[in-house]
Homo-oligomer: A and B are copies of this chain.
Amino acid sequence: MRIAIINGNTNGKVTERIHEAVQRFCHPATQLSMITPEIGPISIENNLDAVVSAYAVVQEILKNQEKADAFIIACFSDPGLYAAREVTHQPVIGIAQAAMVTAVQLGYRFSILSPLRRLRPVLMDIVRRYGFEDNCSGIRTVEIGVSEAAQQAEIIQDAFLDAGRQAIELDGAEVVILGGAVLSGMDEKISKLLGVPVLDPVKCAVGQAESICQMNLTTSKVSGFTFPGKKEFKKCPEPLRMVYLNSERS
């Protein structure tokens, strides 16, 4: 089964790091392909970045429809997730949602660690959107820029370790979610040190995608995610390809 992982940002190094982290993990039969969007921000640190990323992600899915059996949006705010589900029959997995559905199967309550304080209300919104506000013991942040985090991963690990300990001891977290694709690869080490399951959201998403593909399930097309009809889009960066694979099936 072919799973395409779309990095939310245009930083190819982050794409590589994600690839490295998940390739050891996925099933032998799974063929991973990594996509770094052509347009968009170099990192996702706020709502503006997410809006541009959503656009980029949907465009990449439209361009790569034939090349994958499932798509993963590898950015913790799941930018463009619902639009992506609209434009393709293939399942589209958001890493934030994937991490949360995994977390609630391993403990009563999870906490999210995130690199930026400003993302707290954004993440609280996402937790609520997916229905997990009663399972979320809190969001702990470390004041580091995302791009900085990408560069000095080893050093800043300590900061997240501290945040994780506080989540467990003060907030009652039983599971910890690393809230950023950029933190990929730290999960095992932090888990050993904290003594609780620590989730890499991209890995969780690969697991969800494999499971859904294995069952031959595809996105429902009867209501909210029906294919959009064709229409004029003015002056878009490159014309949006409005031909949907298998849309005649719906």
Q: Which residues of A contact B (CB under 8 A)?
A: 10, 25-29, 37-43, 45-52, 54-55, 58, 80, 82-83, 85-87, 91, 93, 97-98, 101-102, 104-109, 117-122, 124-125, 128-135, 145, 147, 168, 172, 174-175, 188, 195-197, 199-200, 203-204, 206-208, 210-212, 214-226, 228-229, 231-237, 240, 250
Contacts and interface: CB of A to CB of B under 8 A. Distances in A.
A45 B229 CA distance: 9
A234 to B, nearest CB: 5
Given A58-B51, A212-B102, A236-B237, A45 B228 contact: yes
Contacts of A203: 215
Given A51-B55, A226-B118, A236-B40, A217 B108 contact: no
A235 B41 contact: no
B197 A220 contact: yes
24 contacts: A26-B214, A27-B214, A37-B234, A39-B235, A42-B231, A47-B82, A47-B85, A47-B225, A51-B80, A51-B83, A91-B105, A101-B101, A104-B130, A106-B219, A108-B124, A109-B224, A124-B134, A131-B132, A174-B222, A175-B220, A203-B215, A207-B210, A208-B211, A210-B211
Contact of A172 (B29, B216, B223, B229): B223
Contacts of A39: 233-236
Contacts of A188: 216
Given A197-B220, A206-B211, A207-B210, 8 more contacts: A39-B235, A41-B231, A43-B231, A51-B51, A107-B225, A121-B223, A188-B216, A210-B211
